[in-house]
Amino acid sequence: MSLLWCDKYRPKDFSKLDFHKEQGSGLKSLTKDGDFPHLLIYGPMGAGKKTRIMCLLKELYGTGVERLRSEVMTFTTPSNKKLEIGTVSSNHHIEVNPSDVGIYDRVVIMNIIKNVAQTQQLDLSGQKSFKVVVLTDVDALTKDAQHALRRTMEKYITNCRLILCSTTMSRVIPAIKSRCLCIRIPAPTTEQIVQVIEKTASLEDINFPRNLAEKIAVLSERNLRRALLMSEACKVEAEGKLTPNQNVAEPDWLLMIRETARIILNEQSIQQLKKVRENLYELICRGIPPEIIFKNLLDGLLKQCDLGLTAEILENAATYEHQMVQGNKEIFHLEAFVAKCMCLYQNVLEEMKSDF
């Protein structure tokens, strides 16, 4: 099976990182001290958090962490409900996304950490005495699960360390932040993305025009994974003959968000609101993070709205996005924002009509 570029060329140790090298050596030095702390690694999507976590694990345990197996684990909730969750693990670590089981995330956290902490490392020569639990999407955990996580991380600190991965810090409770060493991984600059695309292309023995790489770097919004996926898609589309002015296909979810913005401004009615709701549900079901939907919807509205409503739309976006981040049901806040924008737009249109 041939791997996608973004997986095939993922740097496997700190010396191979193409950017944030200084930060990489700082992280490496953490593994040299006897006292490895719990870590909270955060930063935008596609910035390289997972890559650095794998480099850290390799530094701690050697190549053993690359022998991965996927397993489905089963847990039972206090109300006797069976939960199944996918995990990826090696002999030294386990990675899981507890928010995959929704509101039962607390059960997964408590059981996984307990299981890991109760098993000892087999060979202690040259390796650490603790195992590592990597929890992804920590910002999506319920508050209940985060409080359980805080208690569990204190209880099992001798046998187990946590590496938490998150895109934002705002949803992580202060009690977790204060027990971890928090490390921010900034998004690569567009120039750094261009360099990675060029390097990847040369490894693939392809001549990648610089103009095209620059265009992709801008369209990717500094998300390196997205940039590499777009570059590979361009190569497939061009059948090997890439040109500087080649069209870069945008993902269909992005086109759908733009279309949703158009629907909002086209007509303001209950029917249109229903259509928008269908689109929003579809985007959420496809796994597009609500923050990304919000950002791109706002972008689409600002670009397409010609009635001088920028300040009002921005003010409301800030309010509803804040509420969305604090709350649980994202769809409510997205819809409330859409309804508010429709009202604003309709009011201005009516004012204009009455002026005539």
Interface residues toward ligand ATP, by CB under 6 A: 6, 9-11, 17-19, 45-51, 167, 196, 224-225, 228
Separation of alpha carbons 11 and 280, rounded Å: 35
- The least distance separating ligand ATP from the CB of residue 45, rounded to whole angstroms, comes to 4
Q: Which is nearer to ligand ATP, 218 or 352 (CB)?
A: 218
- The least distance separating ligand ATP from the CB of residue 139, rounded to whole angstroms, comes to 11
Q: Which is nearer to ligand ATP, 18 or 312 (CB)?
A: 18
- The least distance separating ligand ATP from the CB of residue 258, rounded to whole angstroms, comes to 22
Separation of alpha carbons 39 and 272, rounded Å: 46
Instruction: Check if the beta carbon of residue 168 is closer than 8 Å to that of residue 183.
Output: no
- The least distance separating ligand ATP from the CB of residue 4, rounded to whole angstroms, comes to 8
Separation of alpha carbons 171 and 290, rounded Å: 14
- The least distance separating ligand ATP from the CB of residue 200, rounded to whole angstroms, comes to 8
Pick the closest to residue 165 from 337, 7, 48, 253 (CA basis). 48
Instruction: Check if the beta carbon of residue 260 is closer than 8 Å to that of residue 335.
Output: no
Q: Which is nearer to ligand ATP, 110 or 217 (CB)?
A: 217
> Percent helix, strand, coil in the chain (nearest 5)?
60, 10, 30
Q: Which is nearer to ligand ATP, 180 or 196 (CB)?
A: 196
- The least distance separating ligand ATP from the CB of residue 124, rounded to whole angstroms, comes to 29
Instruction: Please give the full DSSP string across 98-144, using - where no structure is assigned.
Output: GGGGGGGHHHHHHHHHHHHHHSPPS--TTS-SSEEEEE--GGGS-HH
> What count of Cα atoms within 13 Å lies in the side-chain half-sphere of residue 130?
22
Q: Which is nearer to ligand ATP, 220 or 268 (CB)?
A: 220
- On the 0-12 / 13-18 / 19+ scale of CB atoms within 10 A, 89 is buried
Residue 270 CB neighbours (<10 A): 9
- What does the DSSP 8-state code read for residue 189? P
Q: What are φ and ψ of residue 303, in 5° steps?
A: -70, -35
Separation of alpha carbons 172 and 169, rounded Å: 5
- The least distance separating ligand ATP from the CB of residue 246, rounded to whole angstroms, comes to 22
Q: Which is nearer to ligand ATP, 187 or 324 (CB)?
A: 187
- The least distance separating ligand ATP from the CB of residue 25, rounded to whole angstroms, comes to 13
Q: Which is nearer to ligand ATP, 12 or 128 (CB)?
A: 12
- The least distance separating ligand ATP from the CB of residue 222, rounded to whole angstroms, comes to 11
CA distances from 160 to 34, 76, 133, 163, 261 (A): 14, 23, 7, 10, 47
